[in-house]
C-alpha cells in the first residue's frame, strides 16, 4: 500500500542523499580549529599537565582575535641646524648681479634669502648701494 507521502524507487538504485546528515554537510572537513584547540587544552588538563585555572584561561583565549600592535612609524631624520649646513656650490652666472647663490643657500631663512637677493641685484658683489635715502 502506498500513501501519498511514500516515494517508490527501485532496489538497485541508490537512495537519495540525506541533505541533513553530517557527512553531506561537512564531507572531509574535520572539526573546527577552535574546537580542536580547546579539546587539546582540556585533554592536557585531564592528564594533569595543567591546572583547571590555566585550562580555563587558555580556553578563553582560543579564537579571540589578537590585538593589533602599534608599530612605530619610521622616524624622519632630524634636519641639520641652519648654522651647520654647508654653503651652496659656486656657479658661473651670466648675470652675476642676479646670481641664484643666495636663493640656494639653505643657511638663510626665507626672508633673509629674498632680502639678500634684492641687495645682490642692487649692488652685485660691491660693498655699498643707495636706495630709499639710505646707504647699505
Which pLDDT score, from 0 to 100, does residue 28 have?
57
Quote the mean pLDDT of the chain.
Answer: 76
Structural domain ending residue among the three candidates 9, 41, 61: 61
Element (H, E) at 12: none
Which tops the pLDDT comparison, 83 or 69?
83
Contacts with 12 (C-beta within 8 Å, 6 or more apart), sequence order: none
Does residue 37 have a pLDDT over 90? yes
Measure the CA–CA gap between 116 and 125, rounded to whole angstroms.
11
Examine residue 88 and state whether it is found in any structural domain, yes or no: no
Indicate the number of domains in the chain. 2
**Which domain, by its residues, includes 99?**
95-135
Examine residue 17 and state whether it is found in any structural domain, yes or no: no
Q: Predicted confidence band at 67 (pLDDT cuts at 50, 70, 90)?
A: confident
Which pLDDT score, from 0 to 100, does residue 35 have?
92
Measure the CA–CA gap between 109 and 122, rounded to whole angstroms.
20
Does residue 56 have a pLDDT over 90? yes
Examine residue 125 and state whether it is found in any structural domain, yes or no: yes
Contacts with 38 (C-beta within 8 Å, 6 or more apart), sequence order: 59, 62
Amino acid at each position: 500500500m502506498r500513501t501519498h507521502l511514500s516515494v517508490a524507487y527501485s532496489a538497485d538504485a541508490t537512495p537519495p542523499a540525506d541533505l541533513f546528515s553530517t557527512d553531506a554537510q561537512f564531507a572531509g572537513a574535520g572539526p573546527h580549529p577552535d574546537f580542536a584547540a580547546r579539546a587539546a587544552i582540556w585533554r592536557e588538563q585531564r592528564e594533569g599537565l595543567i591546572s583547571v585555572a590555566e585550562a580555563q584561561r587558555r580556553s578563553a583565549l582560543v579564537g579571540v582575535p589578537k590585538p593589533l600592535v602599534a608599530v612605530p612609524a619610521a622616524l624622519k631624520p632630524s634636519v641639520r641646524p641652519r648654522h651647520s649646513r654647508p654653503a651652496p656650490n659656486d656657479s658661473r652666472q651670466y648675470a652675476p648681479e642676479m646670481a641664484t647663490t643666495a636663493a640656494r643657500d639653505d643657511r638663510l631663512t626665507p626672508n633673509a634669502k629674498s632680502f639678500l637677493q634684492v641687495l645682490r641685484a642692487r649692488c652685485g658683489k660691491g660693498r655699498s648701494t643707495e636706495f630709499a635715502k639710505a646707504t647699505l
